[in-house]
A and B are shown apart, each in its own frame.
Chain A
């Protein structure tokens, strides 16, 4: 029983981490129609920016997280405005552009910070113990920030003019443009919002786990899995799927081991997609 509870707690904390990553990924896909291969790069960059602020400049950690968000958002904005925007309607071209950016980002970080893992610690540590079960405190903080981010993003998308504009562009670009919405203004903003979220995740999660130039690689696969399962472009779907993936991963790994656990997770994803081809909450299908 204790093991079961523990797996559930781990699943939820994994879910929070995946949700933060998936939100940005689904935002970019839903609004721009771009599969962002550089998502893991922004996650890593967020971690390194926060690390540099704390370790080299002596900035307090919460402020460092904010700086990391600003830096990754700024890079995302510039990248969208000057490079991605030129080819934004060509899905294959944007795939390649973001892939190129990812390779440059991860290689640049490797050159700058070296291959070894950094000493980067979360300011809060320790676990709350309830009998045989424990809850790490830092995971609670990430969970809280994750829920806040979901709410904030929902507010931005559904309660502000910016959000209305973005959703209109996502629904039907031609009609939205005819009504005077300007993608050249809004797209970089959406992209910056999403990469800022990836940076936020990196700044929050890398001190809890590890920070080295390889940590961006698994991010793409996880975000991709989560977003598709949730239904592309669906905010609620992505959040729901993130916690589902987290829980499945936790239970499979605890009861069947890491390697077979991964196999089970993938087979489940395959089956779910076959029987529900648009994900949990998705409705429409976009071209590749």
Chain B
């Protein structure tokens, strides 16, 4: 059992099942808040998974907003040419950032540790400035508004319910891809995370897996950008500011970086908190800060790590 490489383990299965539940939510409630929070969770989970893939290789990436922008703007620009077919734009939102990530990866993957953190942050800043400097293509600082809704099998995904279910589908797709990748290459990624130089000296072609991870992470981030644009019907540079990378990193770490359930639970908890605190106006930011401090101090290893620990302890007690 341990030795067989299976494409799916329990955490991956639980993540996909939990996310799929979102598809049925509209049958039980019409609450706008639930729709809104779930939509944000779906977008956040996808973006956090992009961060998580890189963290599996001990690389902390701030490039998520850059690739989100590429995915989101791809869809918005396709909309201008009336390309709204769900399968085509989903493929585009994944492939365009992934393709851009190939040459970029060749450049930035030579860096490690904090140097990689900075270079990915700089990438996000560069993309933001490029958007400002190319108004004819991207709408510049005004963005592209009035993006047409995507069409799935001839139906416009226009109502709240359809948007939610479509975002849910994107999140499930992203989780399957992320889960599949990290499961299939689990040992390779673990070896790189543990000790890259040792892994290389033992014959692992490290750059190949790092490049693969980077490209897929870029594609996943593109999907997050796509989901965001299809929720707002707008591609606006403020949605892809370099600073928002911190949010996705927080989702991943607070959730617990050890398992794919981490980004899921972290996103769920923090997005819910953001919405809750938002209605406290000027205190929102401070409350969010206090929450982060408390979780980090009380729950080492994030939410998933702590739950796992408690679970093991309970089992141990019963024996």
Q: Are both chains from one complex?
A: yes
A225, B133: Cα distance in complex, Å: 22
A104 touches B290 (CB 8 A): yes
A103 touches B115 (CB 8 A): no
A interface, size bucket: 35 or more
Interface assignment of A48: CB less than 8 Å from any CB of chain B: no
Interface assignment of A87: CB less than 8 Å from any CB of chain B: yes
A108, B119: Cα distance in complex, Å: 31
| Of the residues A35, A86, A266, contact of B114 by C-beta under 8 Å | A35
A59, B125: Cα distance in complex, Å: 41
B122 touches A111 (CB 8 A): no
B257 touches A111 (CB 8 A): no
| Of the residues B110, B114, B295, contact of A232 by C-beta under 8 Å | B114
Among the 9-residue stretches B156-164, B198-206, B280-288, B309-317, the one with 4 or more Cβ atoms under 8 Å from chain A is: B280-288
Interface assignment of B37: CB less than 8 Å from any CB of chain A: no
**Shortest Cβ distance from residue A112 to the other chain B in the assembled complex, whole angstroms:** 11
A279, B115: Cα distance in complex, Å: 8
Interface string of B261-288 (1 = CB under 8 A from A): 0000000000000000000001101101
Residues of A close to B249: CB separation below 8 A: 95
Known contacts A274-B108, A288-B60; is-contact A269 B286 (Cβ 8 Å): no
- Report the nearest A residue to B242, measured CB to CB: A221
Interface assignment of A151: CB less than 8 Å from any CB of chain B: no
Interface string of A99-110 (1 = CB under 8 A from B): 111111011101
**Shortest Cβ distance from residue A137 to the other chain B in the assembled complex, whole angstroms:** 33
- Report the nearest B residue to A261, measured CB to CB: B129
Interface assignment of A273: CB less than 8 Å from any CB of chain B: yes
A102 touches B58 (CB 8 A): no
- Report the nearest B residue to A104, measured CB to CB: B289
Residues of B close to A83: CB separation below 8 A: 293, 297
**Residue of B125, B249, B282 with highest tally of chain A CB at under 10 A:** B125
Interface assignment of A187: CB less than 8 Å from any CB of chain B: no
Interface string of B42-64 (1 = CB under 8 A from A): 00000000000001001110000
A287, B114: Cα distance in complex, Å: 7
Residues of A close to B296: CB separation below 8 A: 87, 93, 96-97, 100
| Of the residues B115, B119, B242, B288, contact of A285 by C-beta under 8 Å | B115
Residues of B close to A93: CB separation below 8 A: 253, 296, 300
A224 touches B121 (CB 8 A): yes
Interface string of A206-241 (1 = CB under 8 A from B): 000000000001000100110010001000000000
| Of the residues A86, A104, A278, contact of B297 by C-beta under 8 Å | A86
